[in-house]
A = this chain, B = another copy of it.
Amino acid sequence: MTPLCRRLGIDLPVLAFSHCRDVVAAVSRAGGLGVLGAASMTPEDLDRDLTWLDRECAGRPYGVDLLFPAKSAGDDPAELAGRIPADHRAFVDALRTRWGVPVRRSEPGHNRLGGMPTEIDHLMTHANAHALWEVARAHPIRLVASALGPPPAEVRAETTRRGMLLAGLVGDPRHVRHQLAAGVDVLVAQGYEAAGHTGDITTMVLVPQVVAAAGDVPVVAAGGIATGRQVVAALALGAQAVWTGSVWLATAESDLDPVVKEKIVAAAATDTEKTTSYTGKPTRQLTTVWTEAWRTPEAPAPLPSPVQQVLARDTVVSAFEHQVTPVMGSAAGQAVGLVTGVRSVAAVLDDLRMQMADAVEAVTRLADDAG
């Protein structure tokens, strides 16, 4: 296994990002590293899930993914809502009427419906990120990932004190030096094809560039990876492990709404798109009537983050509450094109191990021929 796998204490070079603690535990128990996407949780929910993971992972390592926003455009939802122009509000009101989306039932920011991606409801503010870190640092986390920009100095100091590894995500080789300056232990090179916040450089091009810029710091490849052959490809590119996400959305353990799981299974790679229509920042999402509406000529330009999120969330949350299926979506990478059914985490990982062996054999046969 790679040196990074040994440091993480895993025997499969696969990190698995999920908002669902059941997926995280299943991956960690199977020899990979489950990473809980916690950036949009409430501190109370995070503490509950980490306490559960401490027990369910049975001593196997797990990770947590957080955002540490450098600056926040504002924390007060009412103040943020006041910045929404009238024609943006009218545009969304017309969409709700057209699609038949009722008024939401739950309180904004406190949605506890199962099955809905949590990102859309909780504003990613500096205050919330700080509160989450206060909760997380008390748990025996093996890896802390900073998903947007370099981690702050106090997080670096605290992870060192507690023996946690710290990872930083980059989408451009020019951002590597900022992460190295912040002292990260691991770089996650995330390509254009990934779900969530991405740049324009693809995994195939980005990973070798980040490896070249990283010096001795190990690199994890992210973006488009769902199969064992791709894991071996990433290792050939110089990565020491892969970061996966979309492949877990439609697993049996995932708490994603069954309607969206079906969409993931049916989706081609081209049924995802980069859009700013959910949060104001470019993230890759399943194409839905919502993302399509914001691409029409009559649509206003999406607002900056997090004002667009304040505008979007009530409609999107209500669509889940009332099962208005055309509006229901999820962050999703092009790897959904490789997902062909709802399966257990263990079944996905069994296949992945076999595919890895096939790919290693294909590559070593090449070496034998050349030798």
Contacts and interface: CB of A to CB of B under 8 A. Distances in A.
Interface in A231-288: 232-238, 268-270
A133 interface: no
Contacts of A269: 200-201, 205-206, 209
A227 interface: yes
Given A229-B238, A367-B360, A335 B205 contact: yes
A57 B31 CA distance: 52
Contacts of A224: 202, 204-205
Contacts of A2: 366
A334 to B, nearest CB: 4
Interface in A327-371: 334-335, 337-338, 357, 359-364, 366-367, 369-370
A174 interface: yes
Contact of A205 (B193, B205, B359, B362): B193
A201 B270 contact: yes
B233 A337 contact: no
Interface string A136-172: 0000000000000000000000000000000000001
Nearest to A269: B201
Contacts of A237: 229-230, 233, 359
A62 interface: no
Nearest to A270: B200
A2 B206 CA distance: 27
A227 B325 CA distance: 45
A364 B362 CA distance: 10
B202 A191 contact: yes
Contacts of A362: 235-236, 238
A193 B223 CA distance: 14
A42 to B, nearest CB: 34
A337 B205 contact: yes
Contacts of A1: 366, 369-370
B366 A209 contact: no
A191 B204 contact: yes
A192 B202 contact: yes
B204 A193 contact: yes
Nearest to A225: B204
A50 B363 CA distance: 35
Contacts of A363: 232, 235-236, 359-360, 363-364
22 contacts: A1-B366, A174-B268, A191-B202, A192-B193, A199-B270, A202-B203, A202-B224, A204-B230, A205-B224, A205-B337, A205-B338, A206-B269, A208-B227, A229-B237, A232-B233, A233-B233, A233-B236, A236-B236, A357-B370, A359-B363, A360-B363, A363-B364
Chain A to chain B: the 4 pairs with minimum beta-carbon distance, closest first? A233-B233, A232-B236, A204-B224, A233-B236
